[in-house]
Chain A
Amino acid sequence: MKLRQRNNISIDPKYILIVLIVVCTIFAIISFRFQDKMVPVRNAVSQVVMPMQKAINSIGVMINDRIDYIDTMESLVKENKKLKSQISELSEENQLLERDKYELETFRQLYDLDEEYADYPKVAARVISSDGDNWYNSFVIDKGSDDGIKKNQNVLADGGLVGIVTEVNNSYSRVRSIIDDESNVSGTFLKTEDSCIVSGSLSGINNGSIKITNITTDEVIEDGDPVVTSQISDRYLPGILIGYSKNITKNSSNLTLSGELVPAVDFQSLDMVLVITELKDSDDLEDILK
Chain B
Amino acid sequence: MTEPLPLEIQKVHKKFKTGFLNLRNSVAVEDLSLSLRSNEIVGLLGPNGAGKTTTLKMVTGLIFPTAGRIRLFGEPVDRRVARARMGFLPENPYFYDYLTAEEFLHMTCGLADMPLAGRSERVARMLRKLDIWHARALPMRKFSKGMLQRAGLAAALIHDPDLVILDEPLSGLDPIGRRDFREIILELKKNGKTVLFSSHILPDVEDLCDRVAIIVKGRLREEGSLSTLLEQGTRNTDIEIACPEGRQDQLAREFPELDRGATLSGFRLGVPTDVNLQEILRRLVKLEFEILSVRPHRISLEDLFVTTAEVKSAEGKSADEKSAVETVADGKPDDGVKEDVP
- Does B bind A? no
Give chain B's interface residues, CB within 8 Å of chain A: none
